[in-house]
Structure 1
Amino acid sequence: MVFFFDPSFIILIPGIILALMAQAYVQERFNKYSRVISTLGMTGAELAKFMLESAGLYDVKVEMIPGKLNDHYDPRSKVVRLSSATYNKASVAALGVVAHEIGHAIQHARNYAPLVVRNGLAPVVSLTSNLSWILFIAGFLFFNIALIRIGIFLFAFAIIFSLITLPVEFDASNRAIKILRTNLMMPEKELKGVKQVLSAAALTYVAGTLMAILQLLRMLFLAGLMGGNRD
């Protein structure tokens, strides 16, 4: 009972606030620039194929999936999955999001170091992030400080993963903006909208990283209490 309702939850409040603000901001920016049609005259799917061909990536597929703001690049199957909110849309917001995801495909093809490290850590983190909480809670239930410390150690991999994700996301956005400006000569007014949408999206990753760090601090705080009680 102490674990779930202790005052240390206060540590997470800044991260929760930032996460809520980031989600609201990215939704607002995307909705705003979804109403601005780009002068490039291309849909998201057309832009994706153009950028892939320009980069010499003929083995990367483009697929549409239902949803909104769930666009992503799958490095395992080499597929760029575009949401229905971007695939057939020609808005500034849609093109910005699509260009960002193609940026990830280009990173993958060019063996961009942070992406290589992140992809390598992904299966490890998917295992350790769940196991860390199981061990951490079990340590409290059985008053075992060793299990708590192992849980904290495993959770640290999630922090590393989050920190590595930041340069990957920033670089993908920079690549997207550079291609839109240089290769497609998108007007600066539209590029401003793209930057706002991508900056808002990047803020969600910053919020996620902060939340992970605060969660780790909370775990350390609780571990300290457990250690103090044992003494």
Structure 2
Amino acid sequence: MELWLLTFIPPLLLMLYAQWKVSSTFGKYSKVVNDRNMTGLVAARWLLDQNNLQNVQVEITKGKLSDHYDPRVRVLRLSPDVANKPSVAALGIVAHEVGHAVQHAKAYAPLQLRNALAPVASIGSNFGWILVFAGLILYSMGTAFGLNLAWFGVALFGVAVFFTLITLPVEFDASARAKAMLRSTGLASVSETSGASAVLSAAALTYVAALLAAVGQLLYYVLLLMGGRRD
């Protein structure tokens, strides 16, 4: 129980704080109308064209803060609150997603690595923990193979953790590109760029929290199996 508390609770608290920070910061700057009175949808198309990315389409998707760039089909999807509102927050989020599209167009290495790892990382995230506990149950029943199965589950989950780690430079670089774009194109004023940056910084905290949570979970599994090996 103490092991669980040490490896799960601190990252969970940081995650909850990060989610609150994103929600409150987005809520604040989504109420501030940008000087150009430009909706996120219009801003996305304009920034993509500025980067010679006419082949990237822009769509509206469901959900709150569900904005993302899909490299598989070269589509930038915006949530309704971002797509339909001329807010400072919308400018920041749109520029960030356009940053991902630019990364894709320029074959940014960390993004390519993350995309390559995505299928295995998804399997590791969804099934790694199942193999760990299934293996431990088999081992407790006297099946020596169970411990090997559990370690295989840890290895799979480790790929998911590495995927989360690679996500950090990808997201940080997209935000850096976003801030540079807002300044260089003149799309946002100095004060608007500052507000957009606050939104992006809050969002970045969620990725840091996700990494710490994943590392804590992996550490829990490793320590659990090491204890099992000593029995």
Q: Distance in 2 between matches of 1:137 and 1:91?
A: 47
Is 1:92 aligned to 2:88, yes or no? yes
CA deviation profile, 1:35-92 (whole Å, cap 9, x unmatched): 1111122110111111111111111110001221110011101110000010011110
Q: Secondary structure at the match of 1:63?
A: strand
Give how far 1:97 is off: 0.6
Which of 16, 23, 26 aligns to 1:20? It is 16
Is 1:178 aligned to 2:180, yes or no? yes
Which of 109, 132, 135 aligns to 1:136? It is 132
Among all aligned residue pairs of Structure 1 and Structure 2, give the percentage whose two residues are the same amino acid.
Answer: 49
Q: Distance in 2 between matches of 1:41 and 1:27?
A: 22
Q: Distance in 1 between matches of 2:93 and 2:51?
A: 18
Is 1:101 aligned to 2:94, yes or no? no
Query: TM-score if structure 2 supplies the norm length?
Result: 0.94
Q: Secondary structure at the match of 2:163?
A: helix
Q: Which moved more, 1:204-213 or 1:134-143?
A: 134-143
AA paired with 1:45?
Answer: L
Large movers: runs of 4+ above 2 Å: 128-131
Structure 1 equivalent of residue 226 of structure 2: 224
Q: Which runs of 5 or more structure 1 residues have no equivalent in the other structure?
A: 1-5
Q: Distance in 1 between matches of 2:86 and 2:17?
A: 27
Which of 145, 163, 166 aligns to 1:164? It is 166
Query: TM-score if structure 1 supplies the norm length?
Result: 0.94
Q: Secondary structure at the match of 1:41?
A: coil
Structure 2 equivalent of residue 151 of structure 1: 153
Aligned CA RMSD, in angstroms, stands at: 1.0
Q: Secondary structure at the match of 1:90?
A: coil
Does the CA-based 8 Å contact 2:57-2:74 persist in structure 1? Answer: yes
Q: Secondary structure at the match of 2:77?
A: strand
Which of 4, 8, 11 aligns to 1:9? It is 4
AA paired with 2:212?
Answer: L
Q: Secondary structure at the match of 1:58?
A: coil
Q: Which runs of 5 or more structure 2 residues have no equivalent in the other structure?
A: 140-145
Structure 2 equivalent of residue 126 of structure 1: 122
AA paired with 1:90?
Answer: P
Structure 2 equivalent of residue 3 of structure 1: none
Is 1:34 aligned to 2:16, yes or no? no
Which of 105, 111, 114 aligns to 1:115? It is 111
CA deviation profile, 1:99-138 (whole Å, cap 9, x unmatched): 1111101110110110011011101211232231221111
Which of 195, 198, 209 aligns to 2:197? It is 195
Q: Distance in 1 between matches of 2:164 and 2:115?
A: 12
Q: Secondary structure at the match of 1:37?
A: coil
Q: Distance in 1 between matches of 2:187 and 2:16?
A: 35
